[in-house]
Amino acid sequence: MDQDSTVIDATATGGQGDQQRLKTITLVVYALQAAAFLVGITSIVAIIVNYVKRSDVQGTWLASHFRWQIRTFWFSVLWSIIGLATMFIAVGYLILLADVVWVIYRIVKGWLRLMDNKPMYANA
Residue 49, domain member (yes or no): yes
CB 111 within 8 A of CB 68: no
Residue 122, domain member (yes or no): no
Three-state SS string over 49-63 comes to HHHHHHHHHCCCCHH
Residue 121, domain member (yes or no): no
Residue 103, domain member (yes or no): yes
Residue 34, domain member (yes or no): yes
- How confident is the model at residue 8, as a pLDDT? 38
DSSP type of residue 91 = H
- How confident is the model at residue 15, as a pLDDT? 67
State CA 72 to chain mean position distance.
Answer: 6
Residue 123, domain member (yes or no): no
Alpha helices, H only, 1-124: 3-12, 16-35, 41-57, 62-85, 91-115
Residue 82, domain member (yes or no): yes
- How confident is the model at residue 40, as a pLDDT? 86
* % residues pLDDT > 90 (the chain): 80
Mean pLDDT calculated for residue range 1-30: 69
Its domain, for residue 29, covers 3-115
CA distances from 24 to 53, 66, 97 (A): 12, 12, 30
- Considering the chain, what is the average pLDDT of its residues? 88
- Counted domains in the chain: 1
Sequence-distant (6+) residues with CB within 8 A of 3 are 117, 118
* pLDDT tens profile 55-111: 999 999 999 999 999 999 999 999 999 999 999 999 999 999 999 999 999 999 999
Residue 120, domain member (yes or no): no
